[in-house]
């Protein structure tokens, strides 16, 4: 028995991010074997480009969703924000190269404004993000359905389409942009005050407030950035297809897929714990899974069944690890509310640091 316990202990000591990338490695090995059995080369340049390209749009959605989940909220309006951004960009550009900058700025400004409204509702009205963004999503869905009955014709200028179709070596430019943004946001989460407060508010909003942290700015920041990144995903779709669509993100299920990638990456759905690096690994796992299932011509029903089984298994593993190996992150109701009590602040900040 002691030998088994000794063998299990190193596994329990692995971080969630390490587990995610080990699972990604296993997925790549399994994918290489399965595609080889179908007479295809998993590591061919074309196939690797397809996988990396597939990570780009979902990656933008998942990065934003990670910020919102870390703050203890959710955002279900992102597919409609992405679709709206693709249409606003397409209509504004109207095939004119000189309108590219205006189209990009207008689409991103509208996306950020929608996220700002979401954040204000959640932060100041106390409405849970699930409900607030569900309502915002319905409003946007009604607007899109009324004003855009279908995809636009090819309205993106050729120069803008190069963004979604260019490569540097085997790497798509869109993937490099997504990874660059992910690196920037990781830096913000680790080194900035807003990043520290985001973890603290997501871990326990009330204790964070009692510790002197203003709880509204991190929530507003997370929702605004989430919508802004959804707008970027919409513009990336526009650059690939040349036209906007009122339903592309909703049909692809990017709202639920982005949440699934966040959970698969090890971020606690209740907020306050997780790493963006794990989310990127989760996105890559979904991209590999989808690629292999496409090669094997698995029907869409079984694809959803397999994705669902992977998500449930991942959550079960993380929940089991939390129960058996981790102490409580915050002790509810134990915060020292005495004015000038530095220990309570130090405790929240220190524990938030541990989760980053």
Note whether residue 333 is domain-resident: no
Task: Supply the pLDDT for residue 177.
Answer: 93
Of 84, 228, 194, 190, residue with least CA distance to 147: 84
Residue of higher predicted confidence among 329 and 205: 205
Q: What is the DSSP letter of 266?
A: T
Asked if residue 292 lies in contact with residue 31, where contact means CB atoms within 8 angstroms, the answer is yes
Distance of CA 110 to the CA centre of its chain: 20
235-285: per-residue pLDDT in tens? 999 999 888 999 999 888 888 889 989 988 889 888 888 899 999 999 999
For residue 1, pLDDT over 60 is answered with: no
As a whole number of angstroms, the distance between CA 109 and CA 133 comes to: 18
118-135: per-residue pLDDT in tens? 999 999 998 999 999 999
Residue tagged 């319905």 (tokens): 138
Note whether residue 328 is domain-resident: no
Note whether residue 1 is domain-resident: no
Note whether residue 132 is domain-resident: yes
Note whether residue 30 is domain-resident: yes
For residue 178, pLDDT over 50 is answered with: yes
Helix, coil or strand: residue 215: coil
In three-state form (DSSP H/G/I as H, E/B as E, the rest C), the secondary structure along 161-181 is HHHHHCEECCEEHHHHHHHHH
Note whether residue 261 is domain-resident: yes
pLDDT bin (cut points 50, 70, 90) of residue 356 is low
Residue 57 maps to which CATH number? Answer: 1.10.3470
As a whole number of angstroms, the distance between CA 112 and CA 132 comes to: 16
Domain encompassing residue 183: 16-321
Percent of the chain with pLDDT strictly greater than 90? 49
Note whether residue 232 is domain-resident: yes
Asked if residue 78 lies in contact with residue 65, where contact means CB atoms within 8 angstroms, the answer is yes
pTM assigned to the model: 0.86
Degrees, nearest 5: CA angle 111-117-120? 140
Tokens of 349: 């900040």
Residue 74 zone, left/alpha/beta (φ > 0; ψ -120 to 50; rest) = beta
The domain tally of the chain equals: 1
Helix, coil or strand: residue 45: helix
Residue of higher predicted confidence among 13 and 230: 230
Note whether residue 31 is domain-resident: yes
Task: Supply the pLDDT for residue 180.
Answer: 94
Tokens of 204: 């326990």
Asked if residue 83 lies in contact with residue 234, where contact means CB atoms within 8 angstroms, the answer is yes
Residue tagged 């997925």 (tokens): 27
Percent of the chain with pLDDT strictly greater than 70? 86
Task: Supply the pLDDT for residue 339.
Answer: 42
């Amino acid at each position: 028995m002691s030998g088994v316990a000794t063998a299990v202990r190193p596994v329990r000591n692995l971080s969630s991010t390490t587990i995610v990338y080990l699972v990604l490695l296993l997925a790549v090995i399994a994918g290489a074997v399965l595609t080889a059995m179908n007479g295809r080369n998993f590591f061919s340049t074309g196939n690797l480009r397809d996988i990396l390209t597939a990570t780009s749009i979902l990656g933008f959605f998942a990065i934003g969703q990670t910020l919102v989940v870390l703050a203890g909220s959710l955002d279900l309006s992102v597919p409609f924000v992405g679709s709206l951004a693709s249409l606003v960009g397409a209509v504004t550009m109207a095939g004119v190269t000189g309108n590219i900058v205006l189209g990009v700025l207008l689409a991103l400004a509208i996306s950020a404004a929608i996220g700002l409204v979401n954040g204000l509702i959640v932060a100041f009205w106390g409405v849970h993000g699930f409900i607030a963004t569900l309502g915002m999503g319905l409003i946007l869905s009604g607007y899109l359905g009324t004003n855009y009955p279908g995809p636009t014709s090819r309205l993106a200028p050729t120069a803008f389409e190069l963004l979604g179709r260019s490569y540097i070596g085997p790497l798509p430019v869109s993937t490099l942009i997504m990874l660059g943004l992910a690196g920037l946001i990781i830096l913000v989460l680790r080194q900035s005050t807003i990043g520290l407060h985001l973890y603290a508010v997501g871990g326990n909003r009330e204790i964070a407030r009692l510790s002197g942290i203003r709880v509204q700015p991190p929530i507003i920041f997370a929702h605004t950035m989430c919508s802004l990144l959804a707008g970027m995903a919409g513009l990336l779709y526009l650059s690939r297809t040349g036209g906007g669509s009122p339903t592309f993100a909703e049909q692809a299920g990017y709202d639920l897929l982005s949440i699934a990638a966040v959970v698969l990456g090890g971020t606690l759905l209740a907020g306050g714990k997780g790493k963006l690096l794990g989310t990127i690994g989760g996105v890559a796992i979904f991209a590999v899974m989808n690629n292999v299932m496409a090669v094997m011509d698995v029907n869409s029903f079984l694809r959803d069944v397999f994705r669902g089984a992977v998500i449930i298994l991942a959550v079960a593993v993380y929940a089991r690890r939390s129960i058996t190996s981790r102490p409580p992150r915050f002790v509810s109701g134990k915060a020292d509310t005495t004015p000038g009590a530095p220990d309570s602040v130090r405790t929240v900040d220190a524990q938030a640091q541990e989760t980053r």
